[in-house]
């Protein structure tokens, strides 16, 4: 008596594995993409928080407006408010340069810091 698998059994196992992969791979990709987006949003929040801390020490009001309308990532690094490491947009997969601006606006008696958009 021969011990082993028939061709039909091997094809059936390969088919079952292929079906499992068709279900699992898109699910895992979705989880990874959401994780990247969440990490990117967290990084943006940390940069905006560093800008907020910088603003507490460096901004003053001039007729209801901040003394300047932006701060750069380079300034935050040079003044010690942001760690000196690569800041990368995970969604766009590109590094944010030292010239990247964090916009500062003053509204309803508070400063608002946003990394998104132009100043």
Please write the tens of the pLDDT for every residue from 86-117.
677 766 777 888 888 888 887 777 778 888 76
Q: Does position 31 have pLDDT exceeding 90, yes or no? A: yes
Cβ 100 vs Cβ 73: under 8 Å: yes
Taking 3-state DSSP, the helix, strand and coil percentages for the chain, each rounded to the nearest 5, stand at 50, 20, 30
- How many beta carbons lie within 10 A of that of residue 87, not counting itself? 20
Q: Kindly report the pTM of this predicted structure.
A: 0.70
> What one-character DSSP code corresponds to residue 97?
P
Query: Would you say residue 110 lies in a domain?
Result: yes
Q: Evaluate whether residue 94 is within a structural domain.
A: yes
In a domain, 74, yes or no: yes
The whole domain housing 80 covers: 8-114
CB 21 within 8 A of CB 42: no
Task: Copy the structure tokens of residue 20.
Answer: 């499992």
Considering its fold, how many domains does the chain have in total? 1
């Amino acid at each position: 008596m021969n011990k082993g698998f028939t061709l039909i059994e091997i094809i059936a196992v390969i088919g079952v594995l292929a079906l499992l992969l068709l279900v699992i791979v898109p699910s895992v990709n979705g989880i990874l993409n959401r994780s990247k987006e969440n990490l990117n949003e967290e990084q943006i929040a940390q940069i905006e928080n560093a800008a907020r801390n910088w603003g507490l020490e460096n901004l003053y009001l001039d007729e209801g407006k901040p003394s300047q309308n932006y701060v750069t990532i380079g300034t935050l690094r040079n003044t010690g408010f942001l760690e000196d490491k690569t800041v990368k947009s995970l969604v766009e997969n590109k590094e944010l340069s030292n010239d990247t601006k964090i916009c500062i606006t003053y509204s309803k008696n508070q400063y608002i810091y946003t990394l998104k958009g132009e100043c």
